[in-house]
Structure 1
Amino acid sequence: MKEKKNAEDNVQYVPVVDGGWGWVVVVGSFFIHVFADGIVYSFGLLLEIIMKEFNASNTKASVIISLLTGLNLGMGPIASAVTNKYGCRVTTILGSLIATI
Protein backbone atom coordinates (compact mmCIF):
# COMPACT_ATOMS: atom_id res chain seq x y z
CA MET A 1 0.00 0.00 0.00
CA LYS A 2 1.29 3.44 -0.95
CA GLU A 3 1.66 5.96 1.82
CA LYS A 4 -0.06 9.32 1.35
CA LYS A 5 1.85 12.48 2.14
CA ASN A 6 0.19 15.51 3.59
CA ALA A 7 0.81 18.92 2.11
CA GLU A 8 1.82 20.02 5.60
CA ASP A 9 4.80 17.67 5.56
CA ASN A 10 6.54 19.84 2.96
CA VAL A 11 5.90 23.17 4.70
CA GLN A 12 8.97 25.02 5.90
CA TYR A 13 8.46 27.66 8.52
CA VAL A 14 10.44 30.84 8.15
CA PRO A 15 11.64 32.46 11.37
CA VAL A 16 10.37 35.94 12.19
CA VAL A 17 13.01 38.45 11.15
CA ASP A 18 11.54 41.77 12.29
CA GLY A 19 12.54 41.26 15.91
CA GLY A 20 9.21 42.52 17.20
CA TRP A 21 9.36 45.85 15.36
CA GLY A 22 5.97 45.08 13.82
CA TRP A 23 4.37 45.26 17.26
CA VAL A 24 5.95 48.66 17.87
CA VAL A 25 4.37 49.87 14.63
CA VAL A 26 0.98 48.41 15.63
CA VAL A 27 1.06 50.08 19.07
CA GLY A 28 2.18 53.40 17.58
CA SER A 29 -0.57 53.27 14.98
CA PHE A 30 -3.11 52.47 17.69
CA PHE A 31 -2.17 55.54 19.73
CA ILE A 32 -2.19 57.78 16.67
CA HIS A 33 -5.73 56.68 15.88
CA VAL A 34 -6.86 57.01 19.51
CA PHE A 35 -5.66 60.60 19.73
CA ALA A 36 -6.58 61.75 16.22
CA ASP A 37 -9.99 60.09 16.07
CA GLY A 38 -10.67 60.68 19.76
CA ILE A 39 -10.74 64.43 19.18
CA VAL A 40 -13.28 64.04 16.39
CA TYR A 41 -15.51 61.54 18.18
CA SER A 42 -15.50 63.40 21.51
CA PHE A 43 -16.27 66.81 20.03
CA GLY A 44 -19.89 66.51 21.10
CA LEU A 45 -18.73 66.70 24.71
CA LEU A 46 -16.82 69.90 24.02
CA LEU A 47 -19.53 71.54 21.93
CA GLU A 48 -21.52 72.98 24.84
CA ILE A 49 -18.39 74.28 26.53
CA ILE A 50 -17.27 76.00 23.32
CA MET A 51 -20.73 77.51 22.84
CA LYS A 52 -20.72 78.97 26.37
CA GLU A 53 -17.10 80.15 26.29
CA PHE A 54 -17.36 81.96 22.96
CA ASN A 55 -21.05 82.85 23.18
CA ALA A 56 -21.62 81.11 19.85
CA SER A 57 -24.61 79.36 18.37
CA ASN A 58 -24.67 75.65 17.70
CA THR A 59 -24.15 76.29 14.00
CA LYS A 60 -21.10 78.51 14.49
CA ALA A 61 -19.51 76.13 16.99
CA SER A 62 -20.10 73.17 14.67
CA VAL A 63 -18.00 74.82 11.98
CA ILE A 64 -14.92 73.79 13.97
CA ILE A 65 -15.55 70.07 13.66
CA SER A 66 -16.72 70.47 10.07
CA LEU A 67 -13.46 72.14 9.10
CA LEU A 68 -11.41 69.56 11.02
CA THR A 69 -13.12 66.64 9.32
CA GLY A 70 -13.13 68.28 5.90
CA LEU A 71 -9.44 69.14 6.03
CA ASN A 72 -8.49 65.68 7.28
CA LEU A 73 -10.37 63.96 4.48
CA GLY A 74 -9.59 66.58 1.86
CA MET A 75 -5.84 66.32 2.30
CA GLY A 76 -5.86 62.63 1.36
CA PRO A 77 -5.49 63.13 -2.40
CA ILE A 78 -2.79 65.76 -1.88
CA ALA A 79 -0.86 63.51 0.50
CA SER A 80 -1.21 60.64 -1.96
CA ALA A 81 0.24 62.72 -4.80
CA VAL A 82 3.16 63.89 -2.64
CA THR A 83 3.79 60.30 -1.51
CA ASN A 84 3.83 59.03 -5.09
CA LYS A 85 6.31 61.72 -6.12
CA TYR A 86 8.63 62.02 -3.09
CA GLY A 87 8.03 58.92 -0.93
CA CYS A 88 6.60 58.21 2.50
CA ARG A 89 9.39 59.71 4.58
CA VAL A 90 9.28 63.15 2.94
CA THR A 91 5.48 63.17 3.07
CA THR A 92 5.48 62.33 6.78
CA ILE A 93 8.03 65.02 7.60
CA LEU A 94 6.20 67.59 5.48
CA GLY A 95 2.86 66.70 7.08
CA SER A 96 4.36 66.96 10.56
CA LEU A 97 5.79 70.39 9.79
CA ILE A 98 2.47 71.62 8.38
CA ALA A 99 0.59 70.23 11.39
CA THR A 100 2.78 72.20 13.81
CA ILE A 101 1.90 75.51 12.16
Structure 2
Amino acid sequence: MTNLSSSDHPPWCLPGPDCAASSDLHLSRLVGTAVSGDEVIQARLGLWRMDVGPTPPTGLLLELSAGEHVERWPLDLVQSRALAHLAGRLVRKLGPWPAIVAA
Protein backbone atom coordinates (compact mmCIF):
# COMPACT_ATOMS: atom_id res chain seq x y z
CA MET A 1 0.00 0.00 0.00
CA THR A 2 1.21 3.45 -0.74
CA ASN A 3 0.91 6.26 1.74
CA LEU A 4 -1.07 9.37 0.97
CA SER A 5 0.51 12.77 0.76
CA SER A 6 1.19 14.17 4.23
CA SER A 7 -0.25 17.49 3.00
CA ASP A 8 -3.72 15.86 3.04
CA HIS A 9 -4.50 16.57 6.69
CA PRO A 10 -8.07 16.41 7.93
CA PRO A 11 -9.15 19.73 9.50
CA TRP A 12 -9.60 18.06 12.92
CA CYS A 13 -6.03 16.68 13.09
CA LEU A 14 -4.01 17.99 16.04
CA PRO A 15 -0.49 19.19 15.29
CA GLY A 16 2.22 17.34 17.16
CA PRO A 17 3.68 13.86 17.53
CA ASP A 18 0.43 12.11 16.52
CA CYS A 19 0.39 13.92 13.18
CA ALA A 20 0.75 11.92 9.94
CA ALA A 21 4.24 13.33 9.40
CA SER A 22 5.63 10.80 11.89
CA SER A 23 3.36 7.75 11.72
CA ASP A 24 0.73 8.31 9.02
CA LEU A 25 -1.82 8.49 11.84
CA HIS A 26 -4.10 11.48 12.42
CA LEU A 27 -5.82 11.95 15.80
CA SER A 28 -8.28 14.59 16.95
CA ARG A 29 -8.62 16.03 20.42
CA LEU A 30 -10.30 13.51 22.73
CA VAL A 31 -13.57 14.69 24.27
CA GLY A 32 -14.39 13.53 27.80
CA THR A 33 -17.78 12.05 28.60
CA ALA A 34 -17.78 12.13 32.43
CA VAL A 35 -20.50 14.32 33.89
CA SER A 36 -19.47 14.53 37.55
CA GLY A 37 -15.78 13.67 37.30
CA ASP A 38 -15.88 11.01 40.02
CA GLU A 39 -16.60 8.02 37.75
CA VAL A 40 -14.25 5.04 38.21
CA ILE A 41 -14.04 4.50 34.45
CA GLN A 42 -13.37 7.59 32.36
CA ALA A 43 -14.42 7.53 28.70
CA ARG A 44 -13.21 9.86 25.96
CA LEU A 45 -13.94 9.93 22.23
CA GLY A 46 -12.06 11.31 19.28
CA LEU A 47 -11.49 10.83 15.57
CA TRP A 48 -8.70 8.91 13.84
CA ARG A 49 -7.48 8.33 10.30
CA MET A 50 -4.51 6.34 9.05
CA ASP A 51 -3.02 7.33 5.70
CA VAL A 52 -2.61 3.97 3.99
CA GLY A 53 -4.06 2.76 0.72
CA PRO A 54 -6.39 4.54 -1.67
CA THR A 55 -9.20 4.75 0.93
CA PRO A 56 -7.71 5.55 4.34
CA PRO A 57 -9.39 3.76 7.27
CA THR A 58 -11.08 6.22 9.59
CA GLY A 59 -13.55 6.30 12.48
CA LEU A 60 -13.93 6.94 16.20
CA LEU A 61 -11.19 6.45 18.76
CA LEU A 62 -12.60 5.21 22.08
CA GLU A 63 -10.35 5.72 25.11
CA LEU A 64 -11.26 4.06 28.40
CA SER A 65 -9.17 4.63 31.51
CA ALA A 66 -9.18 3.70 35.18
CA GLY A 67 -6.50 5.49 37.13
CA GLU A 68 -3.27 5.29 35.17
CA HIS A 69 -4.39 2.31 33.05
CA VAL A 70 -5.47 3.57 29.61
CA GLU A 71 -6.83 1.55 26.68
CA ARG A 72 -7.42 3.03 23.21
CA TRP A 73 -9.67 1.29 20.71
CA PRO A 74 -9.91 2.55 17.11
CA LEU A 75 -13.32 1.72 15.63
CA ASP A 76 -13.73 1.85 11.85
CA LEU A 77 -16.40 4.00 10.25
CA VAL A 78 -18.99 1.20 9.94
CA GLN A 79 -18.49 0.21 13.59
CA SER A 80 -18.63 3.88 14.65
CA ARG A 81 -21.93 4.48 12.91
CA ALA A 82 -23.43 1.25 14.28
CA LEU A 83 -22.25 2.12 17.81
CA ALA A 84 -23.82 5.59 17.63
CA HIS A 85 -27.12 4.17 16.40
CA LEU A 86 -27.25 1.25 18.86
CA ALA A 87 -26.13 3.35 21.83
CA GLY A 88 -28.97 5.80 21.19
CA ARG A 89 -31.52 3.00 21.00
CA LEU A 90 -30.28 1.33 24.19
CA VAL A 91 -30.01 4.54 26.22
CA ARG A 92 -33.59 5.52 25.29
CA LYS A 93 -34.73 2.25 26.95
CA LEU A 94 -33.29 3.52 30.25
CA GLY A 95 -35.93 6.23 30.41
CA PRO A 96 -35.89 10.03 30.37
CA TRP A 97 -32.91 12.12 31.40
CA PRO A 98 -32.90 13.01 35.11
CA ALA A 99 -33.93 16.56 35.96
CA ILE A 100 -31.07 18.99 36.44
CA VAL A 101 -31.21 20.59 39.87
CA ALA A 102 -30.12 24.23 39.97
CA ALA A 103 -27.48 24.97 42.58
TM over 0.5, shorter chain? no
Whichever structure has more helix as a proportion of its residues is 1
Whichever structure has more strand as a proportion of its residues is 2
- Which one has more relative contact order, counting CA pairs under 8 Å at least 6 apart? 2
